Amino acid sequence: MSVTPYVMVDSAKDYRQFLEGAFEAEVSNVIPLPEDPERMVHAEARIGTGVVFFADSGAGGMRCLKSPSNPVHVQLWATVPDPEGVFARAVDAGASPAMEITVQGDGSRMGGFVDPFGTLWWLSTDTPG
Provide the CATH number for the domain around residue 109. Answer: 3.10.180.10
- 14 domain residue, yes or no: yes
What secondary structure letter does DSSP report for 87?
A: H
State how many domains the chain has: 1
Q: What is the C-alpha separation between 86 and 93, in angstroms, rounded?
A: 10
pLDDT recorded at residue 77: 84
- 1 domain residue, yes or no: no
pTM to 2 decimals?
0.73
What secondary structure letter does DSSP report for 77?
A: E
- 103 domain residue, yes or no: yes
For residues 75 and 122, the answer to whether their CB atoms sit within 8 Å is yes
- 110 domain residue, yes or no: yes
Question: With 70 as the cut, is the pLDDT of residue 74 above it?
Answer: no
Question: With 70 as the cut, is the pLDDT of residue 73 above it?
Answer: no
- 49 domain residue, yes or no: yes
The candidate with the shortest Cα–Cα distance to 54, out of 46, 113, 62, is 46
- 52 domain residue, yes or no: yes
Tell me the residue range of the domain where 97 lies: 6-62+72-124
Mean pLDDT of 101-119: 90
